[in-house]
Amino acid sequence: MTGAGDRSTGPAIARASTRVMNLAHLVTQATRHGPDRIALVWGERQWSWADFDRRIDAMAAALSTRFGVRKGDRILIQSANCNQMFESMFACFRLGAVWVPSNFRQTADDVAWLAGASGAVGLICGAPFPEHASACRDQCPGLRFVVTIGSDGEDDYDQVVDAFSGQQVPLAAVDRDDPCWFFFTSGTTGRPKAAVLTHGQMAFVVTNHLCDLMPGTTPEQDASLVVAPLSHGAGIHQLAQVARGVKTILMPSERFDVDAAWTLVERWRVTNLFTVPTILKMLVEHPAVDEHDHASLRYVIYAGAPMYRADQQRALAKLGPVLVQYFGLGEVTGNITVLPPAHHHLEDGPEARIGTCGFERTGMQVSIQDDAGNELDAGATGEICVIGPAVFSGYHDNPQANVKAFRNGWFRTGDLGRLDPDGYLYITGRASDMYISGGSNVYPREIEDKLLMHPDLSEVAVLGVPDSTWGEVGVAVCVLRPGSELEEAALAAWFDGKVARYKKPKRFFFWEALPRSAYGKITKKMIREELVRRGEVPADVSTPGR
């Protein structure tokens, strides 16, 4: 593993390793405090903490005894959300092995590439993905075994658990920097990179989530609904629930069903959930939100992409003061800034600080820096950089990426933003999203925010394309609300005067929907590729990094 231990500019200092709690011990603690309390719900099935703990013990014993898994081995997981996937996280942790979840929507070749890039020795794979298992076997000679979820075969997950029921293995001793999770980035500008998350780092992240996102969380009053893949941010969110012995409720199927989600909120008196703005938008705009009781909600946490002001106001009006926003990349496991419920305001005004993603998380520090690494004054736009215990240890086996990701000890997010004098952060966009028109920098986020003030627009993406006169100009790809007949000329006229002329998009396109990645995010790269495919812009504008 190539971490980031060599990025210091000072003299090397020899130090003893620091022993920390193995994260699997969180399940042991939850079981001790309430063995009969519900740990997990999926459909009509329920598991107590004692049940959950026993199944994890059995799978850990099987991985160790039958399959020879040892500390440091990587285990790839290809599965939609299910109890077995969640259990596998802690089974890996107990052995000191590394949990390597993939997004289940990825192709067989993509997952095989992840298996090879991570150096996985084993695969736990859902039965609906036989081609993924075959591709991993064919392309990864280091893969020693495959356990299948739901196959009824010899190495079926539940049959393995039954065969090793009642068996235990010693909890692996781990140090702070021992890896526990390879968190693959979304790879919007190239192949995904494996961010190495460690036991010590993740212990801080869990504590920080409970402190900054969900204060006062307890097993007696809380329940958490999972509406996103456990392979990424939702998995980290649920790890925090385990730390407090809170029940986790999984959606009944991999297809996101808004009515089913609100039904579960009402049935289980759900108090918190983690999602992304696009899913939150769907939740509050669906008629089912008014058909089910959601008064139990205390924290609806959103992250992963900007949430436009109009959508934020609709969510506040529908759900009340329960929104929590955080900003953070997988490499910092979400721990950069937070905007708690008390800082979300329905009405516009100075205290609303429209466009902010909040202030620094506890124990974390943000710096806005120029291209040379100099810290900029409040109000100036530059790259958002961060230090603190939540920052990952580096990318696995990728020294070039590590060199680019760190400067003078600071992790470089690649996002552009500014801090106001009170320490609130405003993101202006990805560095790769910015374009230069007539010599002036243009940040699409500002334009998108203003366009979404139009009542007929549901979603908007602005990006720069080459122009013979100005170097680059903006184009806006818009999604209309149902029933709208808004046309390009009318939208262009409405937008006159709302931004400087050089910022105004040259063209406005109307699509039925914006393309999304496997993570549910709207990405400019995919939009650009679709513009090229439709012949709206020349093919030579589809450049890497955009």
Per the CB < 8 A criterion, the answer to whether 14 and 85 are in contact is no
Highest-scoring range by mean pLDDT, 295-304, 496-505, 510-519: 295-304
Query: Is pLDDT at 48 greater than 70 in this prediction?
Result: yes
State how many domains the chain has: 2
What is the percent of the chain where pLDDT is above 70?
A: 93
pLDDT in tens, 49-92: 999 999 999 999 999 999 999 999 999 999 999 999 999 999 99
- 19 belongs to a structural domain: no
CATH number at residue 124: 3.40.50.980
182-186, 211-215, 242-246, 377-381: least confident range = 182-186
Which of 130, 151, 174 is the endpoint of a domain? 174
In this predicted structure, what is the pLDDT of residue 187? 52
307-340 pLDDT, tens digit per residue, is 878 889 999 999 999 999 999 999 999 999 999 9
| Mean pLDDT within 429-446 | 78
Other beta carbons within 10 Å of 510: 15
Q: How far apart are CA 391 and CA 335, in angstroms?
A: 8
Under 8 Å CB-to-CB from 308, ≥6 apart: which residues? 277, 448, 449, 452, 460
Q: What is the pLDDT of residue 87?
A: 98
With a cut of 80, say whether residue 141 has pLDDT above it: yes
Residues 6+ apart with CB under 8 A from 311: 277, 280, 281, 452
Binned at pLDDT 50, 70 and 90, residue 13 comes out as very low
Is 7 inside any structural domain?
Answer: no
- Tell which of 159, 174, 189 closes a domain: 174
- The tokens describing 319, both together, are 């759900």
SS3 219: coil
Hey, which bits of 370-456 come out as E strands? 382-387, 406-407, 410-419, 425-430, 435-437, 440-442
Cα 225 from chain centre: 16
What is the rounded CA–CA span in Å between residue 98 and residue 93?
7
Predicted local distance difference test score (pLDDT) of residue 539: 63
pLDDT above 70 (res 4)? no
Q: In this model, does residue 485 exceed pLDDT 90?
A: yes
pLDDT at 188 over 70: no
Q: Residue 491 belongs to what domain range?
A: 432-541
Categorize the per-residue pLDDT at 9 as very low, low, confident or very high, splitting at 50, 70 and 90: very low
- Whether 162 and 84 have beta carbons less than 8 Å apart is answered as no
Catalogue the E-assigned strands of 238-391.
247-250, 272-275, 299-302, 323-327, 337-339, 356-360, 365-369, 382-387
Q: What's residue 518's pLDDT?
A: 61
| Contacts made by residues 125-132, CB under 8 angstroms, sequence distance 24+ | 125/77, 125/78, 125/79, 125/149, 126/78, 126/79, 126/80, 126/82, 126/85, 126/150, 127/151, 128/80, 129/78, 129/79, 129/104, 132/78, 132/108
536 contact partners, CB below 8 Å, separation of at least 6: 475, 507, 509
272 falls within a domain? no
Q: What number is the average pLDDT over the span 344-356? A: 93
Tell me, yes or no, whether 319 lies in a domain.
no
Question: What is the CATH number for 486?
Answer: 3.30.300.30
Note whether residue 517 is domain-resident. yes
Cα-based distances in Å from 256 to 81, 226, 251, 252, 428? 11, 10, 8, 9, 30
Overall average pLDDT of the 27-40 stretch: 98
pLDDT of residue 270: 98
Measured between alpha carbons, how far is 452 from 92 in angstroms, rounded to an integer? 45
Provide the percentage of residues in the chain whose pLDDT is more than 90: 76
Element (H, E) at 172: none
Q: Which pLDDT tens digit goes with each residue over 152-164?
A: 878 999 999 999 9
Question: What kind and span of H or E run contains 461?
Answer: strand 457-467
The mean of the pLDDT values for the chain is 91
Q: Is residue 423 part of a domain?
A: no
Per residue in 448-465, pLDDT (tens digit) is 988 998 999 999 999 998
The pLDDT of residue 469 is 76
pLDDT tens per residue, range 214-258: 999 999 999 999 999 999 999 999 999 999 999 999 999 988 999
- Average of per-residue pLDDT across 284-302: 97
Cα–Cα nearest to 308, from 433, 417, 432, 460? 460
How much is the pLDDT for 444? 87
Work out whether strand 410-419 and strand 435-437 pair parallel, antiparallel, or are unpaired.
unpaired
Looking at 174, 198, 219, which one is the last position of a domain?
174
Query: Is residue 385 one of the residues assigned to a domain?
Result: no
Interatomic CA distance for residues 60 and 67, integer angstroms:
10
Nearest to residue 329, comparing CAs of 355, 366, 300?
A: 366
Q: Is residue 27 included in any domain, yes or no?
A: no
Q: Which residues, in sequence order, are bridge partners of residue 100?
A: 76
Q: Is 512 left (phi over 0), alpha (psi -120 to 50) or beta?
A: alpha
pLDDT for residue 497: 87
Q: Which residue has the higher pLDDT, 437 or 356?
A: 356
Model pLDDT, residue 520: 63
Largest distance between two CA atoms of the chain: 73
